[in-house]
């Protein structure tokens, strides 16, 4: 008789809502994939957004105020982690600890999986001490940048990283930057596992039902950007290139630079640039149609970021990608094979590359096919999820954590830790 393998209970700790940012999407899609295997019961602690996800339990992460690394479209008013005072950091930590303790007591997880090298990682370290629950962490580039900008985050993060059972970094570039900031001694623990996509959400063919009529796109060549509109994303250089691009430029997203770039577009009298704003889950179908309808996707980032999921989504839709040779992008985009790589901050190169694809359908189709194959081979959640399943199995304590028979002093310890953080 085959022995039944117990389902592992994994509690994700996420700083941001599950829609509107890369790490939120990463968490949501990975948890969904793990639950789909029937080998893991995954649930999430995160700031509750507008949308609920069928079959996925969410515990609220309480916040004294919205706080971000760079920005978030669901939070028009926010503070940045890098700007917080020590007292404010302690306040955020107190809220986070209370939220996670409530979830741990109710859910009784076997393993914690933390997103970002930030305050929730400190909380996971406390939970490990109080409840004897192992934790792993996935490192995203924005958390590293926040620590780089405000070094007050480094010491407590380093301590937690040394206690983590696994450190997962989303790209090789991000791993190098991570080791530079938090210490080369962590190199043996750090391994690269990228984000992914669900291929069933991006079929080989898709009928365009909404956007052609809504935006009058019939017969037009389309250049697309999607993402957070910040200086780091380099949209400024796409706007500067637009006058020379032989197609319509659509910019989907929101952010602190959106108004400035709209003003620039008007100043330059650009009639082929269109700002469509942030498309949340309620406009998901329209958003995906743009991926399929676009003739080329442009990612003009000027900073060293991890590989963006929007690039993988465009590739899955067989849309050629033009991206700057920055951060983790060159690990996926192979120049003139499955996309084109250009220098950052260079409107002339953006326009030249766009027109090269727009005016050569054979080249675009060849790169599009190669892009889809790249995603199928390396970047599906089905394959990536298997790697995480092995980790959870390895580090779960099989119910031998400190939750079920929590001694009275552990509960007092929770209160004491809580008090020490605020005072």
> Sign of dihedral through CA atoms 255, 261, 266, 269?
negative
Average pLDDT, the chain: 90
What's the pLDDT tens digit per position in 8-46?
899 999 999 998 888 998 999 999 999 988 899 999 999
Least confident of 11-20, 86-95, 101-110, 237-246: 11-20
Would you place residue 137 in the very low, low, confident or very high pLDDT band (cuts 50, 70, 90)? very high
Q: Which pLDDT score is estimated for 49?
A: 63
The H or E element containing residue 112 is strand 111-115
pLDDT higher at 143 or 351: 351
Q: Which residues does residue 225 pair with via DSSP β-bridges, in sequence order?
A: 251
Task: Specify the pLDDT at position 4.
Answer: 53
Assess whether pLDDT exceeds 80 at residue 3.
Answer: no
Q: Are 198 and 175 in contact (CB under 8 A)?
A: no
**Phi, psi (5° rounding) for residue 140?**
-110, 155
pLDDT surpasses 70 at 158:
yes
Q: Computed over its alpha carbons, how large is the radius of gyration of the chain?
A: 22
Q: Is the pLDDT of residue 422 over 50?
A: no
Distances (CA, A) of 121 to 95, 176, 353: 14, 20, 41
Q: How confident is the model at residue 415 (pLDDT cuts 50, 70, 90)?
A: very low
What pLDDT, on the 0 to 100 scale, is given for residue 50?
57
Query: Would you tell me the crossing angle of helices 361-378 and 347-358 to the nearest 10 degrees?
Result: 100
- Name which of 305, 310, 266, 270 is nearest 290 in CA terms: 310
For residue 412, what pLDDT is reported? Answer: 43
Cite the residue boundaries of each domain of the chain with CATH code 3.40.50.2000.
Answer: 8-196+380-422, 199-378
Q: Phi, psi at residue 3, to the nearest 5°?
A: -75, 130
Whether the predicted pLDDT of 355 surpasses 60 = yes
CATH architecture of 8-196+380-422: 3-Layer(aba) Sandwich (3.40)
What backbone phi and psi angles, to 5 degrees, belong to 183? Answer: 120, 130
Q: Each residue of 315-330: pLDDT tens digit?
A: 999 999 999 998 888 8
The residues that bridge with 58 in the sheet, in sequence order, are 44
Per the listing, tokens 């669900």 go with: 198
Q: Does the pLDDT at position 411 exceed 60? A: no
Strand order of the β-sheet with 190-192 is 58-60, 40-46, 8-13, 111-115, 134-139, 166-169, 190-192
Average pLDDT over residues 65-94: 93
C-beta separation of 310 from 300 below 8 A: no
25: left (phi over 0), alpha (psi -120 to 50) or beta: alpha
Residue 416: which pLDDT band, with cuts at 50, 70 and 90?
very low
> Is domain 199-378 given the CATH code 3.20.20.70 in the classification?
no
What average pLDDT does the segment 258-276 reach? 97
pLDDT tens figures, 390-410: 999 999 975 455 555 444 344
DSSP track, 151-178: GGGHHHHHHHHHH-SEEEESSHHHHHHH
Q: Lowest-pLDDT range, 141-145, 242-246, 267-271? A: 141-145
């Amino acid at each position: 008789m085959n022995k039944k393998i117990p389902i592992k209970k994994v509690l994700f700790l996420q700083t941001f809502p599950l829609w509107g940012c890369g790490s939120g999407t990463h968490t949501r899609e990975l948890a969904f994939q793990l639950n789909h295997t029937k080998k893991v019961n995954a649930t999430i602690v995160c700031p509750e957004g507008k949308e609920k996800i069928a079959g996925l339990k969410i515990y609220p992460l309480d916040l004294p105020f919205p706080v971000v690394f760079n920005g978030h479209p669901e939070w028009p008013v926010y503070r940045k982690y890098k700007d917080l005072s020590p007292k404010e950091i302690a306040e955020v930590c107190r809220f986070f600890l209370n939220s996670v303790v409530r979830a741990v007591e109710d859910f009784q997880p076997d393993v914690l999986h933390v997103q970002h090298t930030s305050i929730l990682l400190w909380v996971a370290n406390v939970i490990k001490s109080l409840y004897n629950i192992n934790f792993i962490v996935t490192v995203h580039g924005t958390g590293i940048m926040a620590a780089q900008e405000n070094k007050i985050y480094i010491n407590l993060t380093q301590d937690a990283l040394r206690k983590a059972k696994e450190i997962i970094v989303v790209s090789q570039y991000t791993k190098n930057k991570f080791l530079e900031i938090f210490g080369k001694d962590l190199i043996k623990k750090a391994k690269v596992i990228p984000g992914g996509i669900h291929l069933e959400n991006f079929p080989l063919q898709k009928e365009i039902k909404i956007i052609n009529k809504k935006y009058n796109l019939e017969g037009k060549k389309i250049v697309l950007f999607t993402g957070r509109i910040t200086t780091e994303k380099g949209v400024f250089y796409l706007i500067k290139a637009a006058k020379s691009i032989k197609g319509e430029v659509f910019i989907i997203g929101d952010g602190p630079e959106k108004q400035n770039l709209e003003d620039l577009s008007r100043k330059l009298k650009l009639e082929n640039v269109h700002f469509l704003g942030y498309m949340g889950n309620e406009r998901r179908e329209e958003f995906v149609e743009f991926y399929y309808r676009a003739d080329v996707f442009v990612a003009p980032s000027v900073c060293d970021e991890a590989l963006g999921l929007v690039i993988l989504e465009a590739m899955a839709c067989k849309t050629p990608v033009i991206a700057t040779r920055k951060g983790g992008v060159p690990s996926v985009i192979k120049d003139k094979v499955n996309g084109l790589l250009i220098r950052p901050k260079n409107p002339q190169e953006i326009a030249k590359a766009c027109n090269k694809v727009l005016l050569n359908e054979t080249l675009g189709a060849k790169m599009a096919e190669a892009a889809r194959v790249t995603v199928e081979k390396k970047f599906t959640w089905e394959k990536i999820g298997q790697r995480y399943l092995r980790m959870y199995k390895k580090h779960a304590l099989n119910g031998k954590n400190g939750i079920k028979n929590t001694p009275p002093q552990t509960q007092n310890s929770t209160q004491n830790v809580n008090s020490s953080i605020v005072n």
